[in-house]
Structure formats: C-alpha cells, structure tokens
C-alpha cells in the first residue's frame, strides 16, 4: 500500500508539473501580446490519514489561475484610439459577429486595452474583431442617464467620418466704449454703429446690428444712450431696445448706472445680460452689471469695440476623434469646435480574477467575479482611460524561465520517484525466486 501510494504520488507530481509547464509556455508565448494576463499554477498537498508506523503519500493537486487584476506596463503609440485603462476597471467590448447579427443583444465582454480604428461602417473595432462600446450622447453633447448595473444602454461606437458639424450662437458678450463727449450739450448726436456676426441653427452666417444713439441735453451732459438691436435674419427688424444710463461720479465714472428695457428681453442687473429673440431662437447678450467696467462703458471721446466674445461656429468637416481620460469620445472639426458623441464607461467588479478568460484578451462576467457596475472613468474606485497607449503583457520572461528550470527539475525528480518505485516492486517480485 505504501509503495503504491508512492507511485501514485509520483504520477500526480508529473501531472501537476505538466500543468505548470503549460502555464509557463503560455506565458512565454504571449510575452509580446498586448493586454495578456499571465497564468499561474499553485500546488496543494493531499494528506491521506494513515495508521501508526505507516505513511501513505497523498500526492499533489494543482489549480491554475489567471491574474487578471495585474496590470502590465503602458507603451505610447501614434493612434488616438489606442486605449488603455490606467488603474482599476475594464473597457466594454463586443464582437463584430454580434454587431452584424444586429438583434440588439450584443454580449458585453471586457478588456483592458485595445487598438481601435474605424472600419468601412465607421465602427471602432480592433483588427481581431473586437468592437468598442459606449453610451451615445445627445445632440447637444450631454450624456443621458443610463442604468449602471446593466449593459443595456451600451452601443457599438460608430463614427461618421464624413460628418458635418456646426454650433448656433446662443450667447455673446459686448465690451464697448461709448464716447462721453457725445452726450454733452452741443454734440452732433451722431449714432455709433456696430455689426456682430452670429451663426443660426443651420450654421449660416447672420448679423446683429447694434446702434448706439446719444441723448443730447439742453444743458450739461445726459450720460444716456439708446441701444437698438436689429437682426439680419428677421429683415433687420428691431429685436431689442434699451436705454443705458452711465455714472459720472468719482468712484464708478463711466460704468453702467442703470438699464431701462423698452422692448426685447428684460435686462438683469445681477448678471448684466438681456435676451433677444432672433429668427432662429434666443441669444443672451451680456453688457455688464452696474458699476462693472468690463462691459459697456462711457469714457473719453472715442468709440471703441474693445472685446466682442461669442459662441457658435459655421459648419465644418470632422477631422479627428479622440478619447479623454474620463472616457468622453470627442469629434473635432476644422472650424475649431469639438463635440462629445459618446462616453466609454469603465466596468468594475469585486473579484476581477473570477472573470472567465476568453480569446483575444477578453473576459466575461461570472458568478465568481461578482456583480459589475459601470462607472464614469476616474470616478469611484476606477482609474482613467489613456489614449495613444497600449498595455503590454504582464509576463516577466526572466521569471518564467526561472520557473521553467524549477519545473523541469521537479518533473525529473517525480519521474525518478516512479523509476525507484518500479525498481523496488521488481525487487519484491524477485523475492519469490
């Protein structure tokens, strides 16, 4: 019985070391595979209870595990959609075949890195067929509220490289100096003209014509102007009329004292803005708060548009797509604007090592991994997303070669045990001669 247990223990040792050799060979073979997570083999002794004076060898048992929570070093690339996760969390992906079936039930798989590029349909995918998934943004670039404990809201990220984009003007800020001498007695009372370009909802260039007319008093100085705003898209109709009064005291001289609304949106002295309705919708115009010198002022004898700020842009062509550290996919246009089109969440779970390993360095959720949650990158326990980067293999070739030597010696030793047991059994057989 004891000799037989020694033989069984030797066989178990051969099997265990063969499994360890398999993990080592897999690790070395994938030492240059981006995103590869090394596998390990752990040995566990088996104890068989025996009576006094005898001992039965229980042998060894092996269990293998892939260390998915280990992260390899990052290497920079030249592709803006080469993505890596720096820290905890994983990227949601699916397969090209699942997208082609188009039954609305793409299986979510996970990976920590990938080189994604647009295919003929504009879908971001790897050369091996992994499709990047994310939440689509609204037309204004905001991300709707999606469920975080399910992948139901995720879609394959599809980019229309021939897309046009523009932004309508919704707000502007006027920094203008009006000549104080024009409101004094004897002034000619000539109006000052200012034309400001804006972009409508279709990206077409329009203009607001602003006319400042001084009030000329019978004596002294009135420090008062009438401001008319006309819209070119509305056949130059007046969309706002306001009476501006300016301070002439020592502390606030030249700044707005009060604004009286004749037509158009009411002036808000707290924000220093009023709203005019052009043909395409409202535009907020900031002229400064009372006592503020950064808006419209009345100083000296010069008319000077000092600062005209506005949003909006004409229609432009998409030139590039990039992913920022928070997972927002932004499209850039040749007009200088950018627009958020998707958000890539990071998927996290209590036990990453419990995930089921699949082909192409991807993993799927299992009961051992625990329930998952979709986080905004950089929020909660997750790290951030790094573009222009790939994650290298976690294999340490030097360490694997050392383990290879140890495994070879252990395998040879177990084979020697089997050989010795065989010789001892032969000696037992020879007793009958």
Provide the number of structural domains found in the chain.
3
What does pLDDT average to in each consecutive run of 10 residues of the chain (433 residues)?
79 91 95 95 83 76 92 95 96 92 82 94 93 92 92 91 79 96 94 95 92 96 97 96 96 96 96 96 96 94 94 86 95 85 96 94 95 94 96 95 94 90 83 72
Structure token pair of residue 293 = 């010198």
- On whether both 304 and 176 belong to a single domain, the answer is yes
Identify the burial level of 393 via C-beta atoms within 10 angstroms of its C-beta, where 0-12 means exposed, 13-18 middle and 19 or more buried.
buried
- On whether both 335 and 378 belong to a single domain, the answer is yes
Give the model's pLDDT for residue 52.
Answer: 65
Give the model's pLDDT for residue 333.
Answer: 85
Sequence-ordered list of residues with C-beta below 8 angstroms from that of 27, at least 6 positions apart, any chain: 38, 39, 395, 400
- On whether both 190 and 304 belong to a single domain, the answer is yes
* DSSP H or E stretch at residue 195: strand 192-199
Sequence-ordered list of residues with C-beta below 8 angstroms from that of 289, at least 6 positions apart, any chain: 256, 269, 270, 271, 272, 295
- On whether both 107 and 178 belong to a single domain, the answer is no
Q: Assign residue 248 the CATH number of its domain.
A: 2.60.98.20
- On whether both 160 and 178 belong to a single domain, the answer is no
- On whether both 7 and 141 belong to a single domain, the answer is no
What domain range is 175 assigned to? Answer: 169-311
- On whether both 219 and 282 belong to a single domain, the answer is yes
Q: Looking at 267, 290, 311, which one is the last position of a domain?
A: 311
- On whether both 199 and 295 belong to a single domain, the answer is yes
- On whether both 43 and 92 belong to a single domain, the answer is no
- On whether both 334 and 264 belong to a single domain, the answer is no
Q: What is the CA radius of gyration of the chain?
A: 37
- On whether both 191 and 213 belong to a single domain, the answer is yes
Whole-angstrom Cα distance, residue 330 to residue 37? 30
Whole-angstrom Cα distance, residue 90 to residue 110? 6
Give the model's pLDDT for residue 107.
Answer: 87
Q: What is the pTM of this model?
A: 0.74
Distances, alpha carbon 28 to alpha carbons 84, 120, 162, 396, 397, in Å: 22, 35, 43, 8, 6
- On whether both 50 and 91 belong to a single domain, the answer is no
Give the model's pLDDT for residue 425.
Answer: 84
Q: Looking at 285, 311, 337, which one is the last position of a domain?
A: 311
């Amino acid at each position: 019985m004891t000799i037989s247990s020694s033989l069984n223990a030797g066989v178990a040792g051969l099997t265990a070391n063969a499994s360890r050799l398999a993990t080592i060979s897999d690790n070395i073979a994938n030492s240059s595979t981006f995103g590869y997570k090394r596998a390990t083999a752990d040995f566990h002794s088996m104890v068989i209870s025996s009576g006094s004076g005898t001992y039965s060898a229980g042998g060894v048992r092996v269990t293998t595990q892939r260390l998915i929570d280990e992260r390899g070093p990052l290497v920079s690339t030249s592709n803006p959609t080469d993505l890596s996760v720096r820290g905890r969390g994983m990227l949601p992906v699916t397969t090209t075949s699942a997208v082609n079936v188009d039954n609305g039930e793409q299986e979510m798989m996970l990976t920590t890195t990938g080189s994604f590029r647009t295919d003929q349909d504009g879908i971001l995918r790897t050369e091996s067929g992994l499709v990047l998934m994310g939440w689509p943004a609204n037309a204004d670039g905001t991300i709707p509220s999606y469920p975080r404990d399910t992948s139901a809201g995720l879609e394959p990220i599809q980019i229309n490289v021939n897309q046009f984009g523009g932004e309508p003007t919704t707000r502007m800020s006027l920094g203008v100096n009006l000549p104080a001498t024009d409101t004094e007695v004897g002034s000619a009372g000539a109006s000052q003209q200012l034309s400001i370009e804006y972009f409508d909802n279709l990206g077409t260039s329009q203009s607001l014509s602003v006319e400042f007319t001084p009030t000329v008093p019978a004596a002294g100085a009135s420090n008062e102007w009438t401001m008319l705003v006309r819209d070119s898209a509305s056949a130059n109709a007046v969309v706002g009329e306001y009476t501006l009064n300016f301070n002439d005291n020592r502390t606030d001289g030249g700044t707005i004292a009060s604004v009286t609304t004749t037509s158009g949106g009411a002036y808000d002295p707290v924000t220093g803005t009023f709203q005019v309705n052009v043909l395409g919708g409202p535009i907020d115009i900031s002229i400064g708060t009372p006592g503020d010198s950064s808006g419209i002022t009345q100083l000296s004898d010069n008319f000077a548009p000092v600062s005209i700020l506005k949003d909006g842009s004409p229609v432009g062509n998409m030139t590039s797509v990039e992913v920022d550290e928070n997972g927002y996919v932004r499209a850039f246009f040749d007009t200088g604007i950018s627009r958020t089109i998707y958000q890539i969440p990071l998927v996290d779970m209590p036990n990453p090592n419990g995930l089921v390993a699949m082909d192409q360095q991807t993993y799927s959720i299992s009961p051992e991994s625990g329930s998952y949650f979709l986080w905004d990158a950089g929020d909660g326990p997750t790290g951030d997303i790094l573009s222009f980067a790939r994650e290298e293999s976690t294999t340490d070739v030097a360490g694997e070669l050392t383990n290879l030597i140890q495994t070879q010696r252990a395998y040879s030793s177990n084979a020697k045990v089997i050989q010795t047991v065989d010789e001892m059994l032969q000696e037992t057989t020879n007793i009958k001669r």
